[in-house]
Amino acid sequence: MEKIRKKWSSMDLFGKCSYLSVGLLFFLIPFTGLVLESLNISIIKFEIILGIYVLSIICSILAKKWKLIIIATVGALLLWAITIGIAEILWYYLKSWFDIDISYR
C-alpha cells in the first residue's frame, strides 16, 4: 500500500487524471447499463460516457501512459459488451420468472 501511495504522489497531474478517468469510466459503464437503464433513469447519457473515454485517452496521451490507453479502449469495449449481455439475460429472466417487463428501456 505504501508503494502505491508513493507512486501516486510522484505522478503528475495528467497521470492522476488519466487513472481517475479510466476508473470512473469502468465504474460508470456497468452502473449505467445495469442499474440506471433497468430502472428507466436516464441521467447519464452515452455522450457523457464517450466524453469521459475521450478525456481519459487525452490525459493518457499527455501523461505518456500508453498501456493505459490500450487498457481503457479494450477494457471499455469488453465491459460494455459484458454489461449488454448481462442486461439482456436479466431482462429475459425477470420476464420469465417474475413476470416483470423492463422492455421499455
Section 72-98 average pLDDT: 87
Total count of domains within the chain? 1
Query: Could you count the other beta carbons within 10 Å of the beta carbon of residue 4?
Result: 8
Does the pLDDT value for residue 4 go beyond 90?
no
Does the pLDDT value for residue 105 go beyond 60?
no
Residues 6 or more apart whose CB falls under 8 angstroms from that of 16 comprise 8
Q: Does 104 map to a domain? A: no
Q: Does 3 map to a domain? A: no
Q: Does 54 map to a domain? A: yes
Section 61-75 average pLDDT: 94
Q: Give the pLDDT of residue 78.
A: 96
Give the domain extent around 64. 12-98
Q: What is the tens place of the pLDDT at every residue in 5-58?
A: 888 888 889 999 999 999 999 999 999 888 887 777 788 888 999 999 999 999
Look up residue 31 and give its three cell numbers. Answer: 452502473
Q: Does 24 map to a domain? A: yes
Q: Does 7 map to a domain? A: no
Section 77-95 average pLDDT: 86
Q: Does 103 map to a domain? A: no
